[in-house]
Structure 1
């Protein structure tokens, strides 16, 4: 009897509500009245409509507040996290939902020749980050892949750094500061540049980074590891079921991803098929090195 009662206490409480976290960071999330869904909006919408018997609540928060919710162990899921093969202290991950191009240096067309003259084509990121003659900037809460984060932490030891503290449209604030000369360069995905160049003709350009030139970035849904009652594992099971059986193969979802990402791949549909639809958890992890694949395509 004692064993039976003890076993009963270990049964996890079923998932009753998922709090979906998002921030005002285009093009990942766009306003509801925009004609095009953001990269993460259509995914969230389809997950909400597909996963039945669960209350779904969207929370629009600054990135720092999002990190707080995740670390405090709320019943939260983040729709567009960088995929990791194994769970960590922040997230348990779904199967990949998309594949993003490598992170790039972002700078102005006027400043790009100075950066490449001193630090090569593609840019040597370590060399650039240690160069005090250029001002690096990013949104304070912005994080990248593990490799890029480590390079920044180990190389950016001087004081010529400028962080943006805005809680809204963090990427847009960085772009404006680049355009007006407050920063010389930043880091982000190349489709961020495409979005803001279309909006205001800011003449921002992308420069490939030598250390990760061929490394694609798999994206997944992440649910908070610290949430009680085995929330993350249970939520991810529901999410994976919806992804495999409905969302990832839906034309609506694929068209949305293609809209934002197509120009940054030689063949987006082929890449999506290989790294998302035919994902193999035993052999794939983040980031994905595509050097051999690119050589074949050339």
Structure 2
């Protein structure tokens, strides 16, 4: 999805010189927040601007995060904690270990993780550029029991490395709408980029490859870019 967003932005913002750099999410965030570096993150979750980071209008849409676990464990988790699963209950279950890529945050779910899992023996953080892939590899090898991510991340990983994994929707965010946006440092350079993105937002949203990518990974046509409100 991020590659499609990047390509749509690069195609639409022809007055800029573009350079693609692969960085861990945490490092990119630190560079924007603490160093006010001249870089933007293309697949941020849209939220209110703050003193350090500003966001564009919505470029694309995400389905809500869910629990990813092994197929043989999924039924057991559902029997204990429901379907959609209660993350609040699961996070307090002493039998299961959770893994989270370092620097990743999960919106409305993060306070539950912070309250019940962080600093416990059932919480594992994984660092590095391939942290999300490494978490899924740890899950497959039974070193951890579950993680949280988008269903499309699991499906992409399964295409590359077929293994038995399952996705369980979460009660606490079941009807939540998540919109992606470009995030830039809140300085004059960042504001210039965000203004340009917003001025070209329709071209970005209607990029054929971006639309096709969303339809493929989000499955339902109701989740495509065409339904993004103009105000976002």
Q: Deviations over 1:190-240 (max 9, x none)?
A: 111111122222111101111111112111111112x4xx22222111111
Q: Distance in 1 between matches of 2:30 and 2:87?
A: 30
After TM superposition, give the deviation of residue 97 of structure 1 in Å: 0.8
Q: 1:52, 1:252 → 2: CA distance?
A: 17
Bigger RCO (CA 8 Å, 6+ sep)? 2
Distance 1:180 1:133 in 2: 17
Match of 1:273 in 2: 226
Is 1:54 the counterpart of 2:16? The answer is yes
TM-score normalized by the length of structure 2: 0.92
Unaligned ranges ≥5, structure 1: 1-38, 282-298
Structure 2 residue runs of 5 or longer lacking an equivalent are none
- Residue number among 218, 224, 228 corresponding to 1:261 in the alignment: 218
Q: Distance in 2 between matches of 1:170 and 1:250?
A: 29
Partners of 2:75 and 2:113 lie apart in 1 by 22
In structure 1, what is the equivalent of residue 53 of structure 2? 91
CA deviation profile, 1:66-99 (whole Å, cap 9, x unmatched): 1221122112211110011x21244211111111
Which structure is larger by alpha-carbon Rg, 1 or 2? 1
**Where does residue 201 of structure 2 map in the other structure?**
243
Aligned residues: 230
The separation in 1 between residues aligned to 2:96 and 2:135, in whole angstroms, is 15
> Is residue 197 of structure 1 aligned with residue 197 of structure 2?
no
Give 1:115 deviation, angstroms: 1.1
RMSD: 1.7
Residues 53, 250 of structure 1: alpha-carbon distance in 2 compared, 3 angstrom cutoff: closer
**2:196 counterpart SS class:** helix
Q: Normalising by structure 1, what TM-score? A: 0.72
* Pairing 1:75–2:33 present: no
Partner SS, residue 59 of structure 1: coil
Contact in 1 for aligned 2:8/2:207 (Cα 8 Å)? no
